[in-house]
Chain A
Amino acid sequence: MNFDLDDDQHAFAAGARDFFRGSASPAAARAGLEGGALEPGRKSLADIGFLGITVPESAGGSGRPLLDLAVVAEQGGAVLAGPSLVTAARAAVLLADAPDLAAQLADGSTAFAVLDGSVEGSAPSVDAADATLFLGLDGGALVVGEGEVVPGRPLDATRGLASVRLTSRRVLAEDAGELWARARQVGAVVMAAEDLGGADRCVQLGVAYAQEREAFGRRIGSYQAIKHLLVDAWVGVEQLRSLVWWAAWAADCNPAELPLAASAAKACAATTFERAASTLIQVHGGIGFTWEHDAHLFWRRAKVDRLLLGDEAEHLDAVARLAVSGALGA
């Protein structure tokens, strides 16, 4: 047994961290709420190759495992990067038999979004707000088409949420229910990875502030009420990291375990990120409640992500059903 990233993956993570720190930030997420563009944006992500990590080499991608993508996604999550690698990962699964479209996904020449719910009027879907080509499930068939986009007022602008009604459609595959489900599970794993990055960053920022801010003649981190909040958030992050890695590994190496692992990771991500972000605000006191402070940008991401690709209740239910039907093994 060996449950750790390998040297390549560690190097990959370090490279991704540098890239994302230089190209995205909570400040950009704040600007997004007032109409600013997503950072780093689709083109930069395509140029550095992140949109094609799991796209086959024959279609212009790198043909790497999902775990590599998850490691990168965590770094993007730490700075609230957009668009989401969830879309890239999910579309790569759906476009496995459509290499021309997969190539446009990888090189960023087409802005894809994957629609949740009905193609006649979708649920709010990630990265749909500025997408031009949509993938959806239409009565069991995988379809691609153009659409009419209806964004809502954003709670978290970095997710680019919008509802879409397809105005044209072409069938890519009949009977695509299973493929669709797997793509959604893969998307859930990547979103959990982005949430992991965000939650981890919240703990780091909270710890840093608790080490310097003083009240009643002591640094606030010496008060157990603050210390224990941060510890609980950190312990949660460590559990989430394990579940994200396991789920990504399952997608690559043990697909039978993916449904359980993906739901476990996504359910854990929902509560862990929310708790970490709330903790970040609370530890900061008044300054943490201001528009100028970054805390609310993580909080916004957490409040939105917990409901996307299935909320906690849906995934807990899935975990329970799978566990009682033997998914844990003997």
Chain B
Amino acid sequence: MDFDDSPDEAEYRSRVRAALQQHADELLRLAPGQEAVDARLQEAEMRRTQRVLHDAGLVGVTWPREYGGQGGSLLEQAIVGQELARFRVPALINHIGMGMCGPTVIGHGSQDQRDRYLARLLRADDVWCQLFSEPASGSDLAALRTTAVRDGDDWVVNGQKVWTTLAHVSDYGILLTRTDPEKPKHAGLTMFVVDMHAPGVTVRPLRQMGGQSDFNEVFFDDVRIPDSERLGEPGEGWRVALTTLMNERVTIGGAGSAIGSPVEEFARHAKERLPELDADRQVLARQAVGRAVVAALGARYTGYRRLTVLSQGGIPGPEASAGKLAGTEAAHLMADAGVRLLGDDAVYAATADGDDRWQRTQSWLPGISIAGGTDQVLRNILGERVLGLPSEPRLDKTAPFSAGRSDGGTR
């Protein structure tokens, strides 16, 4: 057991630090108190930041070299993540592309697709989004209704996606469609790469509860996709989607990276604010601070255990969902205590001097309990796949999808 860098890791870390210093002027960096940037406002800077980092060898650390990656280890990836956070570089614009879309293309795309897309994706020459959820299918993803119908060498797509993060700045997306409504719901799906600039694709922003607009609704009206842009065989879309979803759960909180603010930042905030509270409030506030720190440390060190297993060749499994659950819980505790430490300002959306970081985090976290598998769905997965508890009886697995449609399948 050893938490220090090995000599190789230490050397790698210092090379990462040197590269960041060298390119400091070209990188977008978070101001004190800022926790994210808005891709709507700073798209160009975000793309440039990822490109610069890529060219410095700090993007796609674990990806194969033939696709523009570094062929490095998971631990190196973790070191880069830590150093980017230390250097206050915001989340990369293509985080969904790298976390979910790219691995899906690597796993199920043709050689031609991999050659055309992956290196550009890592450099943020193209930004990617994930077009899965629909108004009537979120947790129950396989109930989706967007159709793709074969027409010569093309497929013609009609339907609507929703909650699509980054669609407004995306060049490509991975798109899950229904190609055979007569098959049971999981068997009639097919995955494609879609060009977000193709005729018939319309992106409309949606405003979140906190006021920002990071996600969108996306409409497909007779959008033509060449058959060569299929990922996997027709009818195999569910298997392809599982690759995406597994990567998603590893990406969010799977390996010791904090969801929301790091605990060190929370501790600094508590240090500043605690002395300003009345003495009897301080006692109570320290309880809340302590509880949040314990949760954050528990999630961090559990992530280190996962990272150790993965870096020794373990396969990412359903346990990753526990990391997302515990990380989300810790983030909620920190945000709640973080806001309450503001005293009277806690009832406003920002402090008198305009600092809104804890209020923003507070109004952003409910989405984390929903995105990428809701808390409830993750508990089902853990209960069934890790603890081995029986699944719920299901009525929807065998009947043709068209037979189960509440509208009779006549759309």
Contact = CB atoms under 8 A, between A and B. Distances in A.
B150 interface: no
A242 B305 contact: yes
Interface of B: 1-6, 9, 75, 78, 263-264, 267, 270-271, 274, 283, 286-287, 289-291, 293-295, 297-299, 301-302, 304-305, 307-309, 312, 322, 325-326, 376, 379-380, 382-384, 386-393
A222 B392 contact: yes
A264 to B, nearest CB: 5
Given A219-B390, A238-B322, A320-B286, A232 B298 contact: no
B390 A218 contact: yes
Contact of A3 (B3, B9, B294, B390): B3
B302 A239 contact: yes
Contact of B387 (A218, A234, A243): A234
B294 A264 contact: yes
Given A6-B1, A222-B389, A319-B290, 19 more contacts: A3-B308, A4-B305, A218-B390, A224-B380, A224-B383, A227-B379, A228-B376, A238-B322, A243-B297, A246-B301, A253-B2, A264-B294, A267-B294, A268-B294, A313-B287, A317-B283, A319-B294, A320-B286, A330-B264
Contacts of A316: 286-287, 290-291, 294
B61 to A, nearest CB: 15
A318 B289 CA distance: 10
Given A227-B389, A320-B287, A4 B383 contact: no
A210 B392 CA distance: 13
28 contacts: A1-B5, A1-B9, A2-B1, A3-B307, A4-B305, A4-B312, A218-B390, A222-B392, A224-B379, A228-B376, A231-B387, A235-B326, A238-B322, A239-B326, A241-B305, A242-B302, A242-B305, A243-B297, A243-B298, A246-B301, A253-B1, A254-B3, A264-B293, A267-B290, A267-B294, A268-B294, A316-B291, A317-B283
A324 B274 contact: yes
Contacts of A325: 271
A254 B287 CA distance: 26
A224 B383 CA distance: 9
A168 interface: no
Of the listed residues A67, A207, A227, the one surrounded by the most CB atoms of chain B closer than 10 A to its CB is A227
B298 A264 contact: yes
Contact of B382 (A6, A235, A241, A329): A235
Contacts of B305: 3-4, 241-242, 245
A4 B1 contact: yes
B387 A207 contact: yes
B267 A1 contact: no
Contacts of A320: 270, 286-287, 289-290, 293
Chain A at the B interface: SS class: helix
Contacts of B274: 324
Given A221-B383, A227-B380, A328-B263, A317 B286 contact: yes
Nearest to B269: A324
A224 B289 contact: no
B383 A230 contact: yes
Contacts of B286: 316-317, 320-321
A319 B309 CA distance: 28
A199 to B, nearest CB: 13
Contacts of B294: 243, 264, 267-268, 316, 319
A1 B389 contact: no
